[in-house]
Amino acid sequence: MTYSETLQSLKESGNFRSIPTDVHPEAADFSSNDYLGLAENEQLRRASMEYAMERRLPLSASASRLLASHQKELALLENTLSGLYEGRAALVFNSGYHANTGIISALADKRTLVVADRLVHASIIDGIALSRAEMARFPHNDLRRAAEIIERRGPGFERVLIVVESVYSMDGDSADIRALTSLKSLHPEVLLYVDEAHAFGVCGPQGLGLTAEAGCLDDVDVVVGTFGKALASVGAFAVTSPTVRDFLVNKARSLIFSTALPPVNAAFSRLAIEHMLGRDDLRLRLRQLSRRLAQITGSGIVSHIQPYIVGDAARTVALSRTLLEGGAKVLPIRTPTVPPGTERLRFSLSASLADADMDRLEQIFKTCRHDS
């Protein structure tokens, strides 16, 4: 099939994508990952600009992490993360995608069995593919099946890597971290990898995620978080043991062969973390909005991420368009991001949303559902 034929097929199935423009800028945004509303925070904006100007921070690292001259801000950021995560070693990556592809492809190889939740992010799947490890996927959050896979297939491998998300990006539900660490404790060859991309800043004590909330940090081998969502910045990080950090510095190709994050961005991320730690008020506001949204959509889940399953790509796009015209931006999620038949609107909340925004959404949504 030619490229043109593939594009035509995508259009006919309702799965054709294009980069959105700034249409309807007045619409309330229900598709942002700016969970705490920090992207427009004037106090944080001013503090970061003053900090960068006073220190004349470079606008680019101008080299990879192993070659760059200006490392101070990255080191300060990693030291801050290490202190927050009980002294565990921290390593910064350019994005969540770089973190997952780089870390997993470094830690796993042909002697590794990767046991992954069926709903893990595409970046995790790509990391597993790059590793050339054997992969077994268990039904979403079904740890009984995960245990069966490890018991049956694990003995044939040098190590087993369990990979999950703490808060799932498309469904908004959560993994049972304590149960996962209990499963890991039964098998000395098992490593546990938890992607906290959608929990960092939002969940747990001071926003440090569900691993911290569960009190299981010492039992999770790798915790990944991002700065580009609740922190309103760019980049990602891993906290792990000093040995694994050193291993990744030597083996994670996404780290070794990418220009490092600019010092100015590293400084902003650190200031955003310091601001985020004390903003329980924003996390409370986000929970309040989550409860309101669950009432509006009947999603059955109270989370800052909530799906509304439509089940058909064309109807999902049409519903999204109708909502936008009414003043609520809720983007459609289609195959291959989600399995066929589960096409959906993905509501993603920000603490900056006003009660009036929720009132407008409720009014439009009732009309849309009645018309459909």
**pLDDT per residue over 223-260, tens digit each?**
999 999 999 999 999 999 999 999 999 999 999 999 99
pLDDT score of 299 = 84
Quick one: pLDDT band at residue 89, thresholds 50, 70, 90?
Answer: very high
pLDDT score of 367 = 84
pLDDT score of 372 = 54
pLDDT score of 22 = 65
pLDDT score of 370 = 56
Q: Where are the alpha helices (DSSP H) in the chain?
A: 3-13, 42-55, 72-84, 96-107, 122-131, 143-153, 177-185, 210-214, 242-251, 253-256, 263-277, 280-297, 313-325, 355-371
**Which tokens sit at 152?**
């049956």
Quick one: pLDDT band at residue 175, thresholds 50, 70, 90?
Answer: very high
pLDDT score of 187 = 96
Residue 200 has pLDDT above 90, yes or no: yes
Q: Which of 253, 267, 251, 262 has its CA nearest to residue 63?
A: 262
Residue 371 has pLDDT above 60, yes or no: no
User: What is the Cα–Cα distance from 197 to 293, expressed in whole angstroms?
Assistant: 21
User: What is the Cα–Cα distance from 127 to 105, expressed in whole angstroms?
Assistant: 5
**Residues 316-335, mean pLDDT to the nearest whole number:** 92
Residue 369 has pLDDT above 80, yes or no: no
Q: Which of 352, 230, 346, 357 has its CA nearest to residue 292?
A: 357
- In the DSSP assignment, the letter for residue 288 is H
Quick one: pLDDT band at residue 15, thresholds 50, 70, 90?
Answer: confident
57-277 shares the fold of 24-39+280-371: no
- CATH number for 57-277 (one of 3.40.190.170, 3.40.50.2300, 3.40.640.10, 3.40.50.12780): it is 3.40.640.10
User: Is beta strand 222-226 parallel, antiparallel or unpaired with respect to 190-195?
Assistant: parallel
pLDDT score of 23 = 64
Q: Which of 222, 272, 240, 219 has its CA nearest to residue 46?
A: 272
Structure confidence by residue, pLDDT tens digits, 75-88? 999 999 999 999 99
Structure confidence by residue, pLDDT tens digits, 33-62? 999 999 999 999 999 999 999 999 999 999
Residue 26 has pLDDT above 90, yes or no: no
Residue 96 has pLDDT above 90, yes or no: yes
Q: Answer yes or no: are the C-beta atoms of 166 and 124 closer than 8 Å.
A: no
**Active-site amino acid positions:** 33, 121, 165, 169, 195, 198, 229
**Residues 161-178, mean pLDDT to the nearest whole number:** 97
pLDDT score of 17 = 86
- Sequence-separated (6 or more) residues with CB below 8 Å from residue 295: none
The total number of residues written for the chain in this structure: 372
**Residues 106-130, mean pLDDT to the nearest whole number:** 97
Quick one: pLDDT band at residue 110, thresholds 50, 70, 90?
Answer: very high
Looking at the chain, the whole-number percentage of residues with pLDDT higher than 90 is: 90
Give residue limits of the domains in the chain.
24-39+280-371, 57-277
User: What is the chain's mean pLDDT, rounded?
Assistant: 95
pLDDT score of 14 = 84
Question: Which of 17-21, 137-141, 314-318, 335-339 is the least confident region?
Answer: 17-21
Overall fold of domain 24-39+280-371: Aspartate Aminotransferase, domain 1 (3.90.1150)
**Residues 156-183, mean pLDDT to the nearest whole number:** 97
Distance of CA 216 to the CA centre of its chain: 20
Question: Which of 119-123, 210-214, 259-263, 333-337 is the least confident region?
Answer: 333-337
Looking at the chain, the whole-number percentage of residues with pLDDT higher than 70 is: 98
